Amino acid sequence: MQEKNLSTNNLDGERLRLKNKFFFDENLKYCMNCKRCEVACPSGVKIADLIHSARRRFSREIPDLRDRILANTDFMGKVARPFAPLVNSVVASAPVKAVMDVMMDIDKERTFPKYQKKGFRRWFKKEAASSQDKFPRKVAFFHGCSTEFQHPEVGQAFVKVMNAVGYGVELIDEHCCGVAMISNGLWNQARRHAEHNVKVFRKAVNEGLPVVAVSSTCAFTMRDEYPDVLDVDNSDVRDSITLVEKFLFELLDSGKVKLVFKDDYRARIAYHCPCHMEKLGWGLFTKALVGMIPGVSLTVLDSHCCGMAGTYGFKKENYKYSQEIGRPLFEQIKSLAPDFVCCECETCKWQIEMSTGYTVLNPIVILADALDLEATADANSAV
């Protein structure tokens, strides 16, 4: 009943805004866009989309320097990359954190993900690109900003697993998915990114390639936020945009590929299903894939938001709430004391690692470690 009342209140607010923009409330910016209200709503109302659509149409606030920096993840990655070790050291120092806290309202308790001097695309060009043409089946890979600038190991694992199951990988001329721009009110920039990506996706789909991502947030944004929040039509390619866990599971389930796991792989893993993954309803694919590894003891964590919500948890005015929202999740992880946590979302990873001290791995990294890649490739050469 409570969730239904929330849905009704947001619908009433939207009706009022449609009548007169005077009824717009700037406090809607505090919506985390986690989509948990939409998951809970028994009527299927897209509450968060209503909120962000209203912000896009009626908000008079102009994003400040902090919000622009946090929103432009790809630009900041390119700027930081040549000086990655220095940047990582500087932003981790207490004096610089204190300055950012006062001057930019980025909370001094927040830790930043580390930039890598060598990105994923550079690795791909040097180590993998030349061998992709030998595969008759291919996928178009949307790797996202975090894979390029902070976690190239995720992209490397993706390529290795895809190749092992008989699929080549093509990189596309992608732009940031735009989710951080949406959260920070950079609507025009987010729309430009969306239009570019959809154009690139159409080219890939027309060539018979599915668009496969490794970040649940990127996948959700490109499938659902583009049309619902940014008014960018992706109806002809939406169903071809997928997440690697779903893609792999469906191949396995149809008998099109085989997986051969190492005999000696052992791990106690706790799985956190990100909020956007719950909205997609795709957590079951990750649970199935990781759960089938013979040496794994898998615990599915209770349904909780980690509190990070992309850039929300970086901001000083939100930091305390971000940590309180995530506290039940952090406490459960600590009580289980797993070897590591499994999660498809990079910002959940940053929040959980900072708040618990436990390592968080993307599922594709876990699969790449657990698979006997050579035996898997041999098994799929005969499929």
Q: Where are the domains of the chain?
A: 2-58, 267-370
Distance CA 131, CA 308 (A): 38
Nearest C-alpha neighbor of 359 from the set 375, 373, 378, 339: 339
How confident is the model at residue 47, as a pLDDT?
A: 76
Considering only CA atoms, which of 265, 266, 274, 270 is closest in space to residue 337? Answer: 270
Out of 3.30.499, 2.120.10, 3.40.50, 1.10.10, select the CATH number for domain 267-370.
3.40.50
Q: Which of 78, 1, 32, 36 is nearest to 318 (CA)?
A: 32
The amino acid sitting at 10 is N
Confidence class of residue 217 from pLDDT cuts 50, 70 and 90?
very high
DSSP reduced 3-state for 242: strand
Q: How far apart are CA 287 and CA 333, in angstroms?
A: 17
Rounded to an integer, what is the distance from CA 326 to the centroid of its chain? 17
- Higher pLDDT residue, 171 or 184? 171
**Bridge pairing between strands 241-243 and 267-271:** unpaired
pLDDT score recorded for residue 2? 37
103 token code pair: 């001057």
Q: Report yes or no: 344 and 362 within 8 Å, Cβ to Cβ.
A: yes
| Whole-number average pLDDT of the chain | 90
pLDDT at 19 > cutoff 70: no
pTM, 2 dp: 0.90
| Structure-token pair, residue 175 | 């732009």
Share of the chain above pLDDT 90, in %: 79
Q: Name the β-bridge partners of 169.
A: 139
Residue 55 has pLDDT above 50, yes or no: yes
Tell me the two tokens of residue 262: 């190492």
